[in-house]
Structure 1
Amino acid sequence: MNRTKMMFLLMILIMFFSPIHAFAAEAERNIYIGDIIELKISSQELTEEVIREKFKEFEIVGIVEGSDHFIVKLRTFETGEKKVVLGDKEIVVVVKSTLQEIQSEGPMEGGLEPAAPAPTVPWLYIFIALLAVTGVTGFVSLRGRFAIKNKVRLDPYHHFISRSNDLLYEDSEFFVKLTCYFKEYVQAVYHIRIKGMTSSEMLYTIDKLPRLQDVKKELGDWLRECDFFKFTGTVASRVRKQEMQRRLAELAGRIKTANQAVVRAPQGAGNRAVGRAPQGAAKGTEKGAAS
Protein backbone atom coordinates (compact mmCIF):
# COMPACT_ATOMS: atom_id res chain seq x y z
CA MET A 1 0.00 0.00 0.00
CA ASN A 2 1.42 3.34 -1.01
CA ARG A 3 1.50 5.73 1.89
CA THR A 4 0.71 9.30 0.91
CA LYS A 5 1.94 12.07 3.08
CA MET A 6 -1.15 14.20 3.52
CA MET A 7 -0.95 17.62 5.09
CA PHE A 8 -4.09 18.39 7.06
CA LEU A 9 -4.49 21.77 8.54
CA LEU A 10 -6.80 21.46 11.53
CA MET A 11 -7.38 25.04 12.52
CA ILE A 12 -7.78 24.83 16.21
CA LEU A 13 -8.74 28.14 17.70
CA ILE A 14 -9.16 27.36 21.33
CA MET A 15 -10.53 30.16 23.44
CA PHE A 16 -10.33 29.55 27.11
CA PHE A 17 -12.29 31.66 29.55
CA SER A 18 -10.23 29.93 32.28
CA PRO A 19 -6.53 30.71 32.99
CA ILE A 20 -5.64 29.37 29.49
CA HIS A 21 -7.05 31.63 26.77
CA ALA A 22 -7.18 29.82 23.44
CA PHE A 23 -9.67 28.80 20.76
CA ALA A 24 -10.02 25.59 18.78
CA ALA A 25 -11.98 24.11 15.87
CA GLU A 26 -11.87 20.61 14.48
CA ALA A 27 -11.74 19.91 10.75
CA GLU A 28 -13.58 16.74 9.86
CA ARG A 29 -11.52 14.80 7.34
CA ASN A 30 -10.62 11.20 6.95
CA ILE A 31 -7.29 10.42 8.55
CA TYR A 32 -5.51 7.16 7.81
CA ILE A 33 -2.62 5.32 9.40
CA GLY A 34 0.68 7.09 8.83
CA ASP A 35 -0.86 10.39 7.67
CA ILE A 36 0.80 13.57 8.86
CA ILE A 37 -1.62 15.65 10.94
CA GLU A 38 -0.81 19.35 11.23
CA LEU A 39 -2.37 21.32 14.09
CA LYS A 40 -2.21 25.04 14.78
CA ILE A 41 -2.78 25.71 18.46
CA SER A 42 -3.18 29.33 19.49
CA SER A 43 -2.50 29.92 23.16
CA GLN A 44 -0.33 32.10 25.31
CA GLU A 45 -0.33 29.73 28.25
CA LEU A 46 0.66 26.39 26.72
CA THR A 47 4.25 25.22 26.60
CA GLU A 48 6.00 22.67 24.43
CA GLU A 49 6.22 20.23 27.36
CA VAL A 50 2.47 20.44 27.98
CA ILE A 51 1.73 19.83 24.30
CA ARG A 52 4.03 16.79 24.19
CA GLU A 53 2.29 15.40 27.27
CA LYS A 54 -1.17 15.96 25.80
CA PHE A 55 -0.31 14.22 22.53
CA LYS A 56 1.77 11.39 23.98
CA GLU A 57 -0.41 8.78 22.21
CA PHE A 58 0.84 10.17 18.89
CA GLU A 59 4.27 10.22 17.30
CA ILE A 60 5.25 13.90 17.27
CA VAL A 61 7.07 14.67 14.06
CA GLY A 62 7.82 18.28 14.89
CA ILE A 63 6.76 21.32 16.91
CA VAL A 64 7.29 24.88 15.69
CA GLU A 65 6.71 27.66 18.19
CA GLY A 66 5.42 31.02 16.95
CA SER A 67 4.76 34.31 18.70
CA ASP A 68 1.33 33.27 19.98
CA HIS A 69 0.81 29.77 18.64
CA PHE A 70 2.34 26.33 18.09
CA ILE A 71 2.40 24.31 14.84
CA VAL A 72 2.33 20.63 15.78
CA LYS A 73 2.90 17.81 13.27
CA LEU A 74 2.09 14.31 14.43
CA ARG A 75 0.99 10.89 13.23
CA THR A 76 -0.01 7.47 14.49
CA PHE A 77 0.00 3.91 13.24
CA GLU A 78 -2.89 2.76 15.38
CA THR A 79 -6.51 2.91 14.31
CA GLY A 80 -9.36 4.08 16.45
CA GLU A 81 -10.63 7.21 18.11
CA LYS A 82 -8.20 9.32 20.08
CA LYS A 83 -9.20 12.22 22.34
CA VAL A 84 -7.04 15.09 23.55
CA VAL A 85 -8.32 17.62 26.10
CA LEU A 86 -6.96 21.17 25.98
CA GLY A 87 -8.51 23.34 28.66
CA ASP A 88 -12.28 22.98 28.35
CA LYS A 89 -12.10 21.81 24.73
CA GLU A 90 -11.78 18.27 23.49
CA ILE A 91 -10.09 17.31 20.21
CA VAL A 92 -11.27 14.04 18.68
CA VAL A 93 -9.08 12.37 16.05
CA VAL A 94 -10.43 9.26 14.29
CA VAL A 95 -7.74 7.23 12.55
CA LYS A 96 -8.91 4.80 9.89
CA SER A 97 -7.31 2.01 7.90
CA THR A 98 -7.71 1.67 4.16
CA LEU A 99 -8.12 -2.07 4.62
CA GLN A 100 -11.27 -1.49 6.64
CA GLU A 101 -12.88 0.33 3.72
CA ILE A 102 -12.39 -2.52 1.27
CA GLN A 103 -15.68 -4.38 1.02
CA SER A 104 -15.27 -8.06 0.29
CA GLU A 105 -17.65 -9.46 -2.29
CA GLY A 106 -17.32 -13.02 -0.95
CA PRO A 107 -16.02 -16.07 -2.79
CA MET A 108 -16.37 -16.08 -6.56
CA GLU A 109 -18.73 -18.67 -7.97
CA GLY A 110 -17.95 -20.32 -11.28
CA GLY A 111 -20.41 -21.22 -14.01
CA LEU A 112 -20.69 -23.24 -17.22
CA GLU A 113 -22.08 -20.34 -19.26
CA PRO A 114 -19.57 -18.61 -21.53
CA ALA A 115 -18.42 -15.20 -20.37
CA ALA A 116 -19.76 -12.19 -22.23
CA PRO A 117 -17.34 -10.95 -24.86
CA ALA A 118 -15.41 -7.81 -24.08
CA PRO A 119 -16.66 -4.70 -25.82
CA THR A 120 -14.85 -4.03 -29.08
CA VAL A 121 -13.80 -0.65 -30.36
CA PRO A 122 -15.76 0.38 -33.50
CA TRP A 123 -12.68 1.24 -35.53
CA LEU A 124 -14.62 1.41 -38.79
CA TYR A 125 -16.92 4.15 -37.51
CA ILE A 126 -14.01 6.01 -35.97
CA PHE A 127 -12.15 5.89 -39.30
CA ILE A 128 -15.22 7.16 -41.18
CA ALA A 129 -15.65 10.01 -38.69
CA LEU A 130 -11.99 11.01 -38.98
CA LEU A 131 -12.22 10.86 -42.77
CA ALA A 132 -15.28 13.11 -42.72
CA VAL A 133 -13.59 15.63 -40.42
CA THR A 134 -10.48 15.64 -42.61
CA GLY A 135 -12.59 16.21 -45.72
CA VAL A 136 -14.51 19.11 -44.22
CA THR A 137 -11.32 20.70 -42.90
CA GLY A 138 -9.63 20.37 -46.29
CA PHE A 139 -12.63 21.87 -48.08
CA VAL A 140 -12.71 24.87 -45.77
CA SER A 141 -8.96 25.37 -46.13
CA LEU A 142 -9.06 25.20 -49.93
CA ARG A 143 -12.04 27.53 -50.04
CA GLY A 144 -10.18 30.05 -47.93
CA ARG A 145 -7.10 29.84 -50.16
CA PHE A 146 -9.14 30.34 -53.32
CA ALA A 147 -10.84 33.34 -51.73
CA ILE A 148 -7.46 34.86 -50.88
CA LYS A 149 -6.18 34.26 -54.43
CA ASN A 150 -9.29 35.86 -55.89
CA LYS A 151 -8.69 38.94 -53.76
CA VAL A 152 -5.08 39.10 -54.88
CA ARG A 153 -6.15 39.02 -58.56
CA LEU A 154 -8.53 41.98 -58.07
CA ASP A 155 -7.49 45.38 -59.40
CA PRO A 156 -6.68 48.05 -56.77
CA TYR A 157 -10.17 49.61 -56.90
CA HIS A 158 -12.11 46.38 -56.43
CA HIS A 159 -9.58 45.24 -53.83
CA PHE A 160 -10.30 48.43 -51.85
CA ILE A 161 -14.07 47.97 -52.22
CA SER A 162 -13.82 44.35 -51.06
CA ARG A 163 -11.78 45.21 -47.97
CA SER A 164 -14.02 48.15 -47.18
CA ASN A 165 -17.15 45.99 -47.33
CA ASP A 166 -15.55 43.41 -45.03
CA LEU A 167 -15.21 45.96 -42.22
CA LEU A 168 -17.54 45.57 -39.26
CA TYR A 169 -19.43 48.66 -38.16
CA GLU A 170 -18.96 47.55 -34.54
CA ASP A 171 -15.15 47.69 -34.94
CA SER A 172 -13.69 50.42 -32.73
CA GLU A 173 -11.01 51.06 -35.39
CA PHE A 174 -13.48 51.29 -38.29
CA PHE A 175 -12.31 54.71 -39.53
CA VAL A 176 -8.63 53.92 -38.95
CA LYS A 177 -8.81 50.79 -41.11
CA LEU A 178 -10.99 52.45 -43.76
CA THR A 179 -8.50 55.33 -44.13
CA CYS A 180 -5.59 52.88 -44.29
CA TYR A 181 -7.28 50.88 -47.08
CA PHE A 182 -7.91 54.06 -49.07
CA LYS A 183 -4.28 55.18 -48.74
CA GLU A 184 -3.09 51.78 -49.96
CA TYR A 185 -5.47 52.10 -52.93
CA VAL A 186 -4.08 55.53 -53.90
CA GLN A 187 -0.53 54.23 -53.48
CA ALA A 188 -1.21 51.29 -55.80
CA VAL A 189 -2.75 53.53 -58.48
CA TYR A 190 -0.27 56.45 -58.47
CA HIS A 191 2.83 54.73 -57.05
CA ILE A 192 3.33 57.30 -54.29
CA ARG A 193 4.01 56.86 -50.60
CA ILE A 194 1.24 58.31 -48.39
CA LYS A 195 0.66 55.53 -45.86
CA GLY A 196 1.58 56.82 -42.42
CA MET A 197 0.97 60.46 -43.37
CA THR A 198 -1.45 62.75 -41.57
CA SER A 199 -4.49 64.07 -43.41
CA SER A 200 -2.76 67.40 -44.07
CA GLU A 201 0.36 65.70 -45.43
CA MET A 202 -1.76 63.46 -47.62
CA LEU A 203 -3.68 66.41 -49.10
CA TYR A 204 -0.40 68.25 -49.72
CA THR A 205 0.96 65.26 -51.63
CA ILE A 206 -2.28 64.80 -53.60
CA ASP A 207 -2.18 68.50 -54.58
CA LYS A 208 0.81 67.67 -56.77
CA LEU A 209 -1.21 65.15 -58.81
CA PRO A 210 -3.31 66.87 -61.50
CA ARG A 211 -5.58 63.86 -61.86
CA LEU A 212 -6.77 64.18 -58.24
CA GLN A 213 -7.71 67.85 -58.32
CA ASP A 214 -11.40 67.07 -58.95
CA VAL A 215 -11.68 65.04 -55.73
CA LYS A 216 -9.29 67.01 -53.53
CA LYS A 217 -11.93 69.23 -51.88
CA GLU A 218 -14.39 66.43 -51.18
CA LEU A 219 -11.58 64.17 -49.99
CA GLY A 220 -10.37 66.90 -47.63
CA ASP A 221 -13.87 67.26 -46.16
CA TRP A 222 -14.09 63.49 -45.71
CA LEU A 223 -10.69 63.29 -43.99
CA ARG A 224 -11.57 66.10 -41.57
CA GLU A 225 -14.82 64.36 -40.60
CA CYS A 226 -12.96 61.08 -40.22
CA ASP A 227 -10.29 62.70 -37.99
CA PHE A 228 -13.06 64.11 -35.81
CA PHE A 229 -14.32 60.62 -35.00
CA LYS A 230 -10.82 59.15 -34.67
CA PHE A 231 -9.28 61.71 -32.33
CA THR A 232 -12.16 63.17 -30.30
CA GLY A 233 -13.51 59.87 -29.01
CA THR A 234 -16.94 60.58 -30.48
CA VAL A 235 -18.74 57.36 -31.42
CA ALA A 236 -20.34 57.49 -34.86
CA SER A 237 -23.66 55.80 -35.43
CA ARG A 238 -24.04 52.88 -37.80
CA VAL A 239 -25.89 55.08 -40.31
CA ARG A 240 -23.09 57.66 -40.22
CA LYS A 241 -20.45 55.01 -40.79
CA GLN A 242 -22.38 53.65 -43.77
CA GLU A 243 -22.68 57.15 -45.23
CA MET A 244 -18.95 57.83 -44.76
CA GLN A 245 -18.10 54.47 -46.31
CA ARG A 246 -20.34 55.18 -49.32
CA ARG A 247 -18.81 58.63 -49.90
CA LEU A 248 -15.26 57.27 -49.82
CA ALA A 249 -16.21 54.47 -52.25
CA GLU A 250 -17.60 57.11 -54.66
CA LEU A 251 -14.36 59.10 -54.41
CA ALA A 252 -12.37 55.93 -55.12
CA GLY A 253 -14.56 55.27 -58.17
CA ARG A 254 -13.98 58.80 -59.51
CA ILE A 255 -10.23 58.36 -59.03
CA LYS A 256 -10.40 55.13 -61.00
CA THR A 257 -12.35 56.78 -63.83
CA ALA A 258 -9.94 59.74 -64.01
CA ASN A 259 -6.94 57.45 -64.05
CA GLN A 260 -8.42 55.28 -66.85
CA ALA A 261 -9.17 58.40 -68.93
CA VAL A 262 -5.58 59.59 -68.63
CA VAL A 263 -4.26 56.15 -69.55
CA ARG A 264 -6.44 55.94 -72.69
CA ALA A 265 -5.66 59.50 -73.92
CA PRO A 266 -2.05 58.93 -75.08
CA GLN A 267 -3.09 55.77 -76.92
CA GLY A 268 -5.72 57.71 -78.91
CA ALA A 269 -3.29 60.51 -79.69
CA GLY A 270 -0.73 58.01 -80.89
CA ASN A 271 -3.26 56.36 -83.21
CA ARG A 272 -4.17 59.72 -84.73
CA ALA A 273 -0.51 60.54 -85.30
CA VAL A 274 0.08 57.22 -86.94
CA GLY A 275 -3.01 57.73 -89.06
CA ARG A 276 -1.75 61.10 -90.41
CA ALA A 277 1.72 59.88 -91.28
CA PRO A 278 0.71 57.88 -94.34
CA GLN A 279 -1.31 60.82 -95.64
CA GLY A 280 1.71 63.14 -95.46
CA ALA A 281 3.85 60.49 -97.04
CA ALA A 282 1.32 60.02 -99.81
CA LYS A 283 1.19 63.77 -100.51
CA GLY A 284 4.95 63.94 -100.63
CA THR A 285 4.98 61.07 -103.09
CA GLU A 286 2.40 62.77 -105.31
CA LYS A 287 4.39 66.02 -105.31
CA GLY A 288 7.55 64.17 -106.16
CA ALA A 289 5.85 62.44 -109.02
CA ALA A 290 4.37 65.71 -110.27
CA SER A 291 7.74 67.40 -110.22
Structure 2
Amino acid sequence: MNRVPTTDSLPGGLTQSAPLIEESIFESEDTEDWGDFVDSDKEPDVEFACEDINLYPKGFCYPIFISDIIVERYRIIHKLDLNTANIMYTLRPLNNIISEKYKQIGRPRKMKLWTEQWKDGELVIPMKPKEELIGDSIVLSDFGLAHKAGTSTQKMQSPATYCAPERVHNINPSYGSDIWSYMCIFFELYTGTYLFPGWSHASVVSSIVHALGPLPESWKGTYHVGGSGEDKWYDQNWQMDPESDLKERITQLRPDVGARELELVLSILRRGLLYQHENRITAAELLDHDSFKGLMCMYAQ
Protein backbone atom coordinates (compact mmCIF):
# COMPACT_ATOMS: atom_id res chain seq x y z
CA MET A 1 0.00 0.00 0.00
CA ASN A 2 1.32 3.44 -0.90
CA ARG A 3 1.29 6.21 1.69
CA VAL A 4 1.50 9.94 1.10
CA PRO A 5 1.74 13.09 3.27
CA THR A 6 -1.47 14.06 5.01
CA THR A 7 -1.68 17.65 3.75
CA ASP A 8 -1.21 19.40 0.47
CA SER A 9 1.08 22.41 0.99
CA LEU A 10 0.47 25.70 -0.77
CA PRO A 11 2.54 28.91 -0.69
CA GLY A 12 2.07 31.02 2.40
CA GLY A 13 1.44 28.12 4.76
CA LEU A 14 -2.15 27.56 3.57
CA THR A 15 -3.50 24.05 3.37
CA GLN A 16 -6.17 22.74 1.07
CA SER A 17 -7.58 19.33 0.24
CA ALA A 18 -6.71 17.95 -3.16
CA PRO A 19 -9.37 18.69 -5.80
CA LEU A 20 -12.08 16.08 -6.39
CA ILE A 21 -12.02 16.50 -10.15
CA GLU A 22 -9.29 16.48 -12.77
CA GLU A 23 -7.86 19.96 -13.31
CA SER A 24 -4.77 21.68 -14.59
CA ILE A 25 -1.75 21.58 -12.31
CA PHE A 26 0.62 24.53 -12.26
CA GLU A 27 4.09 23.09 -11.83
CA SER A 28 6.46 24.77 -9.39
CA GLU A 29 8.72 23.75 -6.55
CA ASP A 30 6.10 24.99 -4.05
CA THR A 31 3.18 22.99 -5.47
CA GLU A 32 2.53 19.42 -4.40
CA ASP A 33 -0.27 17.38 -5.92
CA TRP A 34 -0.83 14.12 -4.08
CA GLY A 35 -3.98 12.95 -5.85
CA ASP A 36 -7.69 13.16 -5.11
CA PHE A 37 -9.69 12.37 -2.00
CA VAL A 38 -12.67 10.20 -2.90
CA ASP A 39 -16.20 10.89 -1.70
CA SER A 40 -17.95 8.64 0.81
CA ASP A 41 -19.52 6.51 -1.94
CA LYS A 42 -16.07 5.55 -3.24
CA GLU A 43 -14.41 4.94 0.14
CA PRO A 44 -15.30 1.19 0.14
CA ASP A 45 -13.34 0.85 -3.13
CA VAL A 46 -10.24 2.25 -1.44
CA GLU A 47 -10.65 0.09 1.66
CA PHE A 48 -11.12 -3.05 -0.44
CA ALA A 49 -7.91 -2.44 -2.42
CA CYS A 50 -5.76 -1.53 0.60
CA GLU A 51 -4.72 -3.22 3.83
CA ASP A 52 -7.33 -3.83 6.51
CA ILE A 53 -8.09 -0.41 7.98
CA ASN A 54 -8.74 -1.98 11.40
CA LEU A 55 -5.07 -2.92 11.72
CA TYR A 56 -4.03 0.72 12.08
CA PRO A 57 -5.77 1.66 15.36
CA LYS A 58 -4.47 -1.58 16.90
CA GLY A 59 -0.90 -0.64 16.05
CA PHE A 60 -0.17 -3.49 13.62
CA CYS A 61 0.33 -1.06 10.71
CA TYR A 62 1.75 2.44 10.80
CA PRO A 63 0.89 5.23 8.32
CA ILE A 64 4.42 6.59 8.06
CA PHE A 65 7.21 6.80 5.53
CA ILE A 66 9.79 4.05 5.84
CA SER A 67 12.40 6.80 5.50
CA ASP A 68 11.26 8.15 8.88
CA ILE A 69 12.65 4.98 10.42
CA ILE A 70 15.48 3.79 8.19
CA VAL A 71 17.41 6.64 6.56
CA GLU A 72 20.65 7.42 8.40
CA ARG A 73 19.46 5.59 11.53
CA TYR A 74 19.73 1.84 11.07
CA ARG A 75 21.73 -0.53 8.96
CA ILE A 76 19.51 -3.42 7.90
CA ILE A 77 21.28 -6.69 8.62
CA HIS A 78 18.44 -9.22 8.54
CA LYS A 79 15.00 -8.86 6.98
CA LEU A 80 12.64 -11.13 8.86
CA ASP A 81 9.37 -10.63 6.96
CA LEU A 82 9.95 -11.74 3.36
CA ASN A 83 6.96 -12.30 1.06
CA THR A 84 5.52 -11.11 -2.25
CA ALA A 85 3.76 -8.17 -0.61
CA ASN A 86 7.05 -6.39 0.07
CA ILE A 87 8.99 -7.21 -3.08
CA MET A 88 8.33 -4.77 -5.92
CA TYR A 89 9.51 -4.11 -9.44
CA THR A 90 10.99 -0.70 -10.09
CA LEU A 91 9.40 1.68 -12.58
CA ARG A 92 11.19 3.06 -15.58
CA PRO A 93 12.01 6.79 -15.41
CA LEU A 94 8.99 9.07 -15.70
CA ASN A 95 8.71 12.73 -16.61
CA ASN A 96 9.57 14.92 -13.59
CA ILE A 97 6.44 17.01 -14.06
CA ILE A 98 3.75 15.53 -11.81
CA SER A 99 0.88 16.12 -14.23
CA GLU A 100 2.80 14.23 -16.94
CA LYS A 101 3.35 11.32 -14.57
CA TYR A 102 -0.35 11.17 -13.83
CA LYS A 103 -1.08 10.93 -17.56
CA GLN A 104 0.92 7.69 -17.59
CA ILE A 105 -0.06 6.10 -14.28
CA GLY A 106 -3.35 7.79 -13.39
CA ARG A 107 -4.14 10.09 -10.48
CA PRO A 108 -3.96 8.63 -6.95
CA ARG A 109 -7.33 7.97 -5.31
CA LYS A 110 -7.26 8.13 -1.53
CA MET A 111 -9.17 8.59 1.72
CA LYS A 112 -8.26 9.97 5.13
CA LEU A 113 -7.01 7.52 7.75
CA TRP A 114 -7.33 8.50 11.41
CA THR A 115 -5.45 6.42 13.96
CA GLU A 116 -4.49 6.51 17.63
CA GLN A 117 -0.83 6.56 16.65
CA TRP A 118 1.44 9.60 16.63
CA LYS A 119 0.67 10.43 13.02
CA ASP A 120 -2.46 10.10 10.90
CA GLY A 121 -2.22 9.14 7.27
CA GLU A 122 -4.11 8.26 4.10
CA LEU A 123 -5.20 5.08 2.38
CA VAL A 124 -4.21 5.15 -1.29
CA ILE A 125 -5.40 2.70 -3.94
CA PRO A 126 -2.35 0.91 -5.41
CA MET A 127 -1.64 1.99 -8.95
CA LYS A 128 -1.57 -0.46 -11.82
CA PRO A 129 1.18 0.71 -14.18
CA LYS A 130 1.31 -0.29 -17.79
CA GLU A 131 3.62 -3.21 -18.46
CA GLU A 132 6.02 -1.06 -20.48
CA LEU A 133 6.65 1.10 -17.39
CA ILE A 134 7.86 -1.83 -15.26
CA GLY A 135 11.65 -1.92 -14.89
CA ASP A 136 14.06 -4.84 -14.73
CA SER A 137 15.10 -4.41 -11.09
CA ILE A 138 13.28 -5.22 -7.86
CA VAL A 139 13.37 -3.53 -4.47
CA LEU A 140 12.54 -4.66 -0.94
CA SER A 141 10.17 -2.72 1.31
CA ASP A 142 8.47 -3.02 4.70
CA PHE A 143 11.44 -3.18 7.06
CA GLY A 144 9.34 -2.97 10.21
CA LEU A 145 10.55 -6.44 11.27
CA ALA A 146 14.19 -6.07 10.24
CA HIS A 147 16.71 -6.82 12.97
CA LYS A 148 20.30 -7.78 13.61
CA ALA A 149 21.04 -11.43 12.86
CA GLY A 150 21.06 -13.58 15.97
CA THR A 151 18.61 -11.40 17.88
CA SER A 152 15.99 -13.41 19.77
CA THR A 153 12.55 -12.49 18.52
CA GLN A 154 8.93 -13.52 18.48
CA LYS A 155 8.70 -16.59 16.25
CA MET A 156 5.56 -15.86 14.24
CA GLN A 157 6.08 -12.75 12.12
CA SER A 158 5.54 -13.95 8.57
CA PRO A 159 2.52 -14.88 6.41
CA ALA A 160 1.86 -18.61 6.68
CA THR A 161 2.37 -19.34 2.98
CA TYR A 162 5.95 -18.02 3.08
CA CYS A 163 6.89 -19.17 6.58
CA ALA A 164 9.69 -21.71 7.01
CA PRO A 165 8.49 -24.80 8.93
CA GLU A 166 11.05 -24.50 11.73
CA ARG A 167 9.52 -21.16 12.73
CA VAL A 168 6.29 -22.84 13.84
CA HIS A 169 8.38 -25.35 15.79
CA ASN A 170 9.94 -22.96 18.30
CA ILE A 171 13.15 -22.38 16.33
CA ASN A 172 14.46 -18.83 15.93
CA PRO A 173 14.44 -17.36 12.39
CA SER A 174 17.69 -17.37 10.43
CA TYR A 175 19.05 -16.55 7.01
CA GLY A 176 17.94 -20.06 6.11
CA SER A 177 14.38 -19.02 6.97
CA ASP A 178 14.72 -16.20 4.44
CA ILE A 179 15.88 -18.67 1.79
CA TRP A 180 12.78 -20.79 2.38
CA SER A 181 10.62 -17.69 1.94
CA TYR A 182 12.54 -16.81 -1.22
CA MET A 183 11.88 -20.26 -2.68
CA CYS A 184 8.16 -19.78 -2.04
CA ILE A 185 8.32 -16.45 -3.89
CA PHE A 186 10.44 -17.95 -6.68
CA PHE A 187 7.87 -20.70 -7.26
CA GLU A 188 4.99 -18.24 -7.17
CA LEU A 189 6.60 -15.93 -9.73
CA TYR A 190 7.44 -18.89 -11.94
CA THR A 191 4.05 -20.64 -11.83
CA GLY A 192 1.57 -17.97 -10.75
CA THR A 193 0.37 -19.89 -7.68
CA TYR A 194 1.41 -20.56 -4.10
CA LEU A 195 4.06 -23.20 -3.47
CA PHE A 196 2.40 -24.30 -0.23
CA PRO A 197 -1.25 -23.14 -0.20
CA GLY A 198 -3.28 -22.84 2.97
CA TRP A 199 -5.36 -20.44 5.05
CA SER A 200 -3.52 -21.08 8.31
CA HIS A 201 -0.12 -22.21 9.51
CA ALA A 202 -1.47 -25.71 10.15
CA SER A 203 -2.89 -26.06 6.63
CA VAL A 204 0.35 -24.74 5.13
CA VAL A 205 2.39 -27.25 7.13
CA SER A 206 0.11 -29.99 5.78
CA SER A 207 0.82 -28.77 2.24
CA ILE A 208 4.55 -28.85 2.97
CA VAL A 209 4.40 -32.42 4.25
CA HIS A 210 2.35 -33.54 1.25
CA ALA A 211 4.95 -32.07 -1.12
CA LEU A 212 8.23 -32.77 0.67
CA GLY A 213 7.55 -35.62 3.05
CA PRO A 214 7.43 -35.88 6.86
CA LEU A 215 8.96 -33.27 9.13
CA PRO A 216 11.92 -34.22 11.35
CA GLU A 217 10.71 -36.50 14.13
CA SER A 218 12.64 -34.40 16.65
CA TRP A 219 10.25 -31.51 15.97
CA LYS A 220 7.25 -33.42 17.28
CA GLY A 221 5.74 -31.69 20.30
CA THR A 222 7.25 -28.28 19.51
CA TYR A 223 4.55 -26.95 17.14
CA HIS A 224 3.18 -23.86 18.88
CA VAL A 225 0.65 -22.16 16.60
CA GLY A 226 -2.95 -22.97 17.43
CA GLY A 227 -2.54 -26.47 18.80
CA SER A 228 0.01 -29.24 19.09
CA GLY A 229 0.20 -30.19 15.42
CA GLU A 230 -0.78 -33.45 13.76
CA ASP A 231 1.06 -36.68 14.53
CA LYS A 232 1.08 -37.65 10.86
CA TRP A 233 3.34 -34.68 10.04
CA TYR A 234 6.19 -36.46 11.82
CA ASP A 235 5.39 -40.02 10.73
CA GLN A 236 8.54 -41.17 8.94
CA ASN A 237 6.46 -43.79 7.06
CA TRP A 238 4.35 -41.07 5.45
CA GLN A 239 3.42 -41.82 1.85
CA MET A 240 3.83 -38.72 -0.28
CA ASP A 241 1.02 -37.55 -2.54
CA PRO A 242 2.20 -37.95 -6.18
CA GLU A 243 0.07 -34.98 -7.29
CA SER A 244 1.79 -32.73 -4.73
CA ASP A 245 5.28 -33.64 -5.92
CA LEU A 246 7.17 -30.53 -7.06
CA LYS A 247 8.00 -31.95 -10.48
CA GLU A 248 4.40 -32.98 -11.11
CA ARG A 249 3.02 -29.61 -10.02
CA ILE A 250 5.40 -27.60 -12.20
CA THR A 251 4.67 -29.87 -15.16
CA GLN A 252 0.95 -29.20 -14.74
CA LEU A 253 1.30 -25.48 -14.10
CA ARG A 254 3.93 -24.83 -16.79
CA PRO A 255 3.32 -27.32 -19.63
CA ASP A 256 5.36 -25.05 -21.91
CA VAL A 257 8.60 -25.74 -20.01
CA GLY A 258 11.14 -28.11 -21.55
CA ALA A 259 12.91 -30.92 -19.71
CA ARG A 260 16.18 -28.99 -19.28
CA GLU A 261 14.50 -25.92 -17.79
CA LEU A 262 12.36 -28.10 -15.52
CA GLU A 263 15.46 -29.76 -14.06
CA LEU A 264 17.10 -26.38 -13.43
CA VAL A 265 14.05 -25.12 -11.55
CA LEU A 266 13.77 -28.30 -9.49
CA SER A 267 17.47 -28.14 -8.65
CA ILE A 268 17.05 -24.61 -7.29
CA LEU A 269 13.95 -25.43 -5.26
CA ARG A 270 15.34 -28.62 -3.74
CA ARG A 271 18.43 -26.82 -2.45
CA GLY A 272 16.34 -24.23 -0.66
CA LEU A 273 13.52 -26.40 0.67
CA LEU A 274 15.46 -28.55 3.11
CA TYR A 275 13.92 -28.94 6.56
CA GLN A 276 17.16 -28.21 8.43
CA HIS A 277 17.70 -24.50 7.87
CA GLU A 278 21.48 -24.74 8.24
CA ASN A 279 21.62 -27.11 5.25
CA ARG A 280 19.81 -24.79 2.83
CA ILE A 281 21.73 -23.05 0.10
CA THR A 282 22.78 -19.49 0.97
CA ALA A 283 21.98 -16.45 -1.15
CA ALA A 284 25.61 -16.13 -2.24
CA GLU A 285 25.80 -19.83 -3.14
CA LEU A 286 22.56 -19.61 -5.09
CA LEU A 287 23.77 -16.70 -7.20
CA ASP A 288 26.88 -18.69 -8.10
CA HIS A 289 25.14 -22.04 -8.62
CA ASP A 290 25.10 -23.53 -12.12
CA SER A 291 21.35 -24.23 -11.98
CA PHE A 292 20.47 -20.64 -11.11
CA LYS A 293 22.87 -19.14 -13.63
CA GLY A 294 21.62 -21.54 -16.29
CA LEU A 295 17.99 -20.56 -15.69
CA MET A 296 18.84 -16.85 -15.71
CA CYS A 297 20.65 -17.29 -19.03
CA MET A 298 17.50 -18.80 -20.55
CA TYR A 299 15.45 -15.75 -19.60
CA ALA A 300 18.14 -13.20 -20.44
CA GLN A 301 18.05 -14.08 -24.12
Task: Name the TM-score class by shorter chain.
Answer: under 0.3
> TM-score, normalized by length of structure 2?
0.25
The answer to which structure has the higher helix fraction is: 1
The answer to which structure has the higher strand fraction is: 1
Question: Which one has the largest radius of gyration?
Answer: 1
> TM-score, normalized by length of structure 1?
0.26
